[in-house]
Each structure stands twice: as C-alpha cells, then as structure tokens.
Amino acid sequence: MGKYTDLAEKIVVNVGGRDNIISLKHCITRLRFQLKDESKANDEVLKELDGVVTVMKAGGQYQVVIGNQVAQVFDEVQKVADLQGTTVQDETPAEKRSLFNIFIDTISGIFQPILPALSAAGVIKGFNTLFISLGWYSQTSGTYALLNAIGDAMFMFLPILLGLTAANKFKLNQYVGLIIGAALCYPAIQVGALSEAGKPLYTLFSGTVFQSEVYQTFLGIPIVSLNYTSTVIPVILICYFAAKVEHALNKVIADTVKFFFVPILTLLVSLILGFLLIGPLATFGSNLVGSGILAVRNVSPMLAGALVAGLWQVLVVFGLHWGIIPIYFNNIVTNGFDNVMMPYYCTTFVTTAVVVAMIIKTKNKKLKKLGIPAAISGILGVTEPAIYGLLLPKKKPLLISCLVSAVIGGFYGFFNLRKFAMGGMGFFELPGMIDPKTNSLDNMYIALIGIGLSLVLGFVATMIFWKDDEPVDEQKTEIKTVQNEVIQAPIKGKIVSLSEVKDNVFSKGFIGKGLAIDVTEGVVKAPVSGEITTVFPTGHAIGLASDKGAEILIHIGMDTVNLEGKYFTPLVKVGDRVKAGQEILHFDLEKIKAAGYSLITPVVVTNTDAYTDVLETGLTKQDPSEMLTTIS
C-alpha cells in the first residue's frame, strides 16, 4: 500500500465515489476534479483530512488543495478510483527531453510494474537449468516440465503483461492492451503453427534479408508469418498506436455508443495494422541486424564479436536480437557449432558484475532490494530484470555494461568461442562448449577466462565511473538549514496583499506567505539565485529553490492553467541554474487579459515553516531587481 493510499481512498469516497468523477487532473498544488454532482461531495470531511489543505469550487471544477505532495496523491487517487485507463489528464511538470531519453523512460516505465515477477521467473528458470546440470532430474521429467512452465511462462507470454503496462503508460484502456498482447501470443498465428499446418502460399522478398513466408492473407493483403511470443517492441508499438486511435475515437463517437464502439474499432484498427505492418517492420529490423553481423564477421571475427556483445543488451531492449538467434540455431544444426552469436555470452556476467557494484554503491534501499534478485537471476543467465529494472533507468550503467561487453566480446571473437550444443544459460552453458568430437576443454577455458574478465572489468568500471544520484533515504528526513534572505521582485507591477487575492489557497496562506503583484509587464525574472525546481507544462507557474534554502512559487494570474499554455513562453527548464534578475518566463499580458483572466500574480515562499517570518517591503510599486520581501 502506498504512502498516500489511505488519503486517496478517503478523497475518492468524499467526492462522491468513482461513479461521480468525470475527469481528474492536477496543477501545482491541487487536484482538479470535474464531478457529475458536486452536492455529493463532503466538503467539511475533506477539509478535515490530514493531508488536505482545503477545498475550493471554481471554474466548474471541484478542487482539493493538497500542496507539495499533489503529484503523489494524484497517482494514488488514479489507482484507487481505477482511472488509469480513462481520459484522466495528468499535468505533472515535465522538462523537455531528447527522443532517446523519452524512449528509455517509456520502456523503463512499462517494465517497472512487472519487475518483481520478472525477477522471480528468471530465478526459477535459472535454478531449473542448474538442477538439470547437477543431474537431480532429467529434462524429460515432470519436475522439469512443471518448473519450466512456471519460470518460462512469464517470458513466453510477455506481450500480454506488457500489453497491460503499456496501456497504462499510454492511457489506453487496460483491457484493450491485454487483448492486444494476447492476440500477439495467439497460437494459430505463430509461424511455427502455420508451417506445420501446410505449405506457404508464396514468399515475399525472396532472396533478400526480408524474405518472408506467407501462409495467410487478410482481404487479399499478405500476412507476414512471424513468432510474437517473448517479444517486446511489437506490443509496445501497437499499444502506442492503439492509444492514439482510442483517444481520437473518444472525441468523435457519441457518448451513448462509446462503450461499445470505441474498443471494437480500437482493436480492429490497431491489431490489423499491427499484424500487417508494425510487427513485420520490427522483424525486418531484426533481419537487417543479423545480416549486418554476418557481413562484419566475414571481414573481422574480433570486430563482429565486439559488435554482438556490445550491442546485445540494446538489441534485447528493441527486440532486434531475434535477427541473430536464427543464425545461431542454423549454425548449430548445419555446422555443429555456433561462433556468430556466442560472443554475447559475456554480457550475462558483465551485467551481473555491474549490478553487484550498483548494490554496493547505492544508498537507495529500493534499488538494493531490486538489485539482489536481479543479480541472482543474471548469474543464472536471465538478465532482463537487471536490464529493465536497473541498467536502463540509470542509463550510465547500461553504457558501462555495453562497453565492457564489447571488449570481452572482441576477445571471444578473436579466439573463436564456440558452442556445440543448445541449452543452458549462464554458467550452465559451459558444458555445451566442450567439443564433442575431441572432448577438448580448450574452448571452455576460453569461455572461463572471458567470464573472469567480465566480472572483474564490469565491477571495477562501475565502481569507478558510476555515481549514484544519492536519493533520499526513505527512513530519514533531510533538514535544510535556512538563512536570512532578500527576495527580489520577479515582475514589474503594483503590490497587492495576498489577502486580497481571489483564491483562498493563496489569500489564506495555505501554500505559504508572501505578496502578490498586479503585473504591468510580461517578463518574469528570477527573484533569487538558485535552481529551477518546477516549470509547469502550461507555463503559468514556476518554482525555484534558492541557494540559501527558500522555496519560491511564482504563479502568473488566476486560473490561467485553463489557457493550456497559450501566451506563455518559459525560458528555463527544470534543473537549470539561474541568477537573480535573469529572465525566466515571457507571457503576453494583453492577450491573457483579453481572454478574461486576472493577472494578479502571487509570489510565495512555500516552505514558510522553515523561517521565523516573511517580511513585506512596504512599497506599493515594484520593479524587478528591487527588494520584494525578506525572510528570516
């Protein structure tokens, strides 16, 4: 149960229950409900809840004022009221990010909910392999079959689980996401089942890396036959597309028939396009990777080994490693061994070493708890929990593991590491590296040397080059030392007492003490030197933390959040360092006034409790760079 779950449950009950909620969003301090019937809400009960500052009604919204913890409470209210799959709007501040960071954060967010189960399945799968290697039971026994089903089910039906988490991430109906994942795992459409049922109708792109067998068509359009079980990227891409389709349909289909027609059309459009185009494109990408590796190996085995090992985890994230696996199978069947894919072998041990170093260096208890089963799973040959749970979200450990793996992969490529029999993972792949014709152990010795190098270099590189971001210990509360400070006016205009602001959250000091300015110029300047902590997506509010400890909120106008970003141009982003007097925001004063909004702008110290008093300047007009208030 989350920290704010109890509060969220009480809020949902006292706004009239889930059925009374039309939509929910939040701004910088408050939950903004749109209710079917506001008379069903218990104002007085809500006001008395520990964690609720007050309740307000304005602009057709029922507003529950929370304060600094509004984002966390918002998340819990979504869960409690089961709002994740609806059109609830989340206005959590977000800085501009690169496409790479957006992709990383998206994949990490989709995998986070299933990581405990993924780790558990990996450990079970690894131990089952260990017990086979120790001769405790045979691979044909019922014991092996049962444990394999428990450990392997998670990986085989991964698209179903990812369909659920991707749906929540993209704000798609979660049951639509589940059906998308289940459809991708449906036995009758897998290429293995189709090939057993009969010969292909014809072959597409024959003689190229995109060669594909076609067993079925949809309205005359060829369906490229593939295996989607255990894949990652196809289900995520299809759910992303489905979310866009669903949101568009919700805007144009009448409310009276939405319940029936929106999911039907969403599933039909997204899955038909998914099977005909999205899935095949992902597979063609895999084929390109496999062909590229073979071409490089013909020139330099060492370089090919470095590429396979260095890129392996990235390929796994994108689902492109499937382009190399068929080469691996074909080589063992045809040649009696594989030496193309095998340089990847070191990544298992490099990843484990990186995770162990992270466990030692981090102060984050949650990271430690996640790292221990991920390390166990990794040493047994299943690295997905480590990749998705630790390396990918932290980014630099992923880079370290890729670079170290490239070095060891080059070593394996140079010495022609080979595997002669399929099966086994992690340490338990070693028996498959014994040459069955000569019984020579030389190839296995090469593998063992690589394992030793992987463990040492992965661990040392992480200890040297990775620095934890030092998250706050959940068991401790940081006490900031505050000092006397002068806060400059951030904007030009006439001084107004907070008590005169027509918003009780500010006028009654619920957020903190300070002043307001009836602005006469559309330029906001930093009132102190420090760091930008909040830039609201709509641009109407900016938060700063001064170098001396003051936390300051500048809120342009009243209810300007409803402009949804029109007429506001932030010049900074979260995390930027600013100097007092530096321009941080522009806005079109005249157009905001013409839209009917008040431009009285509160400037408040939100951590007022950390100070003895906040003293007003006593002046009636203010220019930026002049003293607005002092705190002590």
Is residue 95 included in any domain, yes or no?
no
| H-run or E-run covering 451 | helix 442-465
The confidence score (pLDDT) of residue 186 equals: 93
Mean pLDDT, residues 257-283: 90
Is residue 89 included in any domain, yes or no?
no
What is the band of 62 on the pLDDT scale with cuts at 50, 70, 90? confident
Ramachandran area for residue 444 (φ above 0: left; ψ -120 to 50: alpha; else beta): alpha
pLDDT at 52 over 60: yes
Mean pLDDT, residues 345-361: 94
Answer yes or no: do 550 and 428 share one domain. Answer: no
User: Which residues form the domain of 66?
Assistant: 5-80
For the record, the structure tokens of 85 come out as 């799959």
pLDDT at 114 over 70: yes
Residues for the chain: how many in total?
632
Mean pLDDT, residues 394-403: 92
- Is the pLDDT higher at 255 or at 525? 525
Is residue 85 included in any domain, yes or no?
no
Domain end point (choices 434, 458, 476) = 476
What is the band of 292 on the pLDDT scale with cuts at 50, 70, 90? confident
Task: Give the integer Cα–Cα distance in Å for 339 and 345.
Answer: 11
Q: Give the domain CATH number at 611.
A: 2.70.70.10
**Based on the structure, what is the number of domains in the chain?**
4
Answer yes or no: do 278 and 372 share one domain. Answer: no
Share of the chain above pLDDT 90, in %: 26
The confidence score (pLDDT) of residue 504 equals: 76
Answer yes or no: do 163 and 129 share one domain. Answer: no
In a 13 Å sphere around the CA of 311, the CA atoms on its Cβ side amount to 20
The confidence score (pLDDT) of residue 205 equals: 84
Answer yes or no: do 135 and 171 share one domain. Answer: no
Question: What pLDDT digit, counting tens, does each position of 510-537 carry?
Answer: 778 888 888 989 999 998 889 998 888 8
Ramachandran area for residue 219 (φ above 0: left; ψ -120 to 50: alpha; else beta): left
Lowest mean pLDDT: which of 2-11, 48-57, 68-77, 423-432?
423-432
Is residue 414 included in any domain, yes or no?
yes
Domain end point (choices 57, 80, 103) = 80
Answer yes or no: do 377 and 444 share one domain. Answer: yes
- Of 496, 626, 627, nearest to 557 (Cα)? 496
Answer yes or no: do 142 and 15 share one domain. Answer: no
What is the band of 95 on the pLDDT scale with cuts at 50, 70, 90? very low
pLDDT at 280 over 60: yes
- Is the pLDDT higher at 201 or at 611? 201
The confidence score (pLDDT) of residue 507 equals: 80
Mean pLDDT, residues 324-353: 82
Report the range out of 213-227, 362-376, 393-407, 596-610 with the highest average pLDDT: 393-407
Q: What is the 3-state secondary structure (H, E, C) of 390-448?
A: HHHHHCHHHHHHHHHHHHHHHHHHHCCCCECCCCCCHHHHHHHHCCCCCCCCHHHHHHH
pLDDT at 249 over 80: yes
User: What three-state secondary structure class fits 525?
Assistant: strand
Q: Give the domain CATH number at 40.
A: 3.30.1360.60
Answer yes or no: do 180 and 45 share one domain. Answer: no
Mean pLDDT, residues 420-430: 75
Mean pLDDT, residues 572-594: 90
Mean pLDDT, residues 607-624: 60
Is residue 376 included in any domain, yes or no?
yes
Ramachandran area for residue 618 (φ above 0: left; ψ -120 to 50: alpha; else beta): left
Is residue 607 included in any domain, yes or no?
yes
Report the range out of 104-113, 326-335, 353-362, 548-557 with the highest average pLDDT: 353-362
Mean pLDDT, residues 475-483: 37
Lowest mean pLDDT: which of 21-30, 232-241, 256-265?
21-30
The confidence score (pLDDT) of residue 275 equals: 93
Q: Which residues are the active-site residues?
A: 27
The confidence score (pLDDT) of residue 359 equals: 93
Contacts of 124 (CB under 8 A, 6+ apart): 147, 150, 151
If one counts every other C-beta atom within 10 angstroms of the C-beta of residue 453, the result is 18
The confidence score (pLDDT) of residue 154 equals: 84
Answer yes or no: do 166 and 141 share one domain. Answer: no
Mean pLDDT, residues 584-588: 93
Answer yes or no: do 311 and 167 share one domain. Answer: no
Answer yes or no: do 291 and 311 share one domain. Answer: no
- Is the pLDDT higher at 297 or at 617? 297
- For residue 445, CA distances in Å to 332, 349, 416, 524 come to 20, 16, 12, 67
What is the band of 92 on the pLDDT scale with cuts at 50, 70, 90? very low
Question: What pLDDT digit, counting tens, does each position of 181-212 carry?
Answer: 999 999 888 877 777 777 888 888 888 767 78
- Is the pLDDT higher at 90 or at 113? 113
Query: How confident is the prediction for the chain on average, in pLDDT?
Result: 82
Answer yes or no: do 326 and 454 share one domain. Answer: yes
Mean pLDDT, residues 567-590: 90
pLDDT at 139 over 70: yes
pLDDT at 505 over 90: no
Is residue 103 included in any domain, yes or no?
no
pLDDT at 548 over 90: no
Mean pLDDT, residues 585-610: 87
What is the band of 85 on the pLDDT scale with cuts at 50, 70, 90? very low
Is residue 416 included in any domain, yes or no?
yes
Answer yes or no: do 360 and 448 share one domain. Answer: yes
For the record, the structure tokens of 100 come out as 């790479």
Place of tokens 């027509």: 502
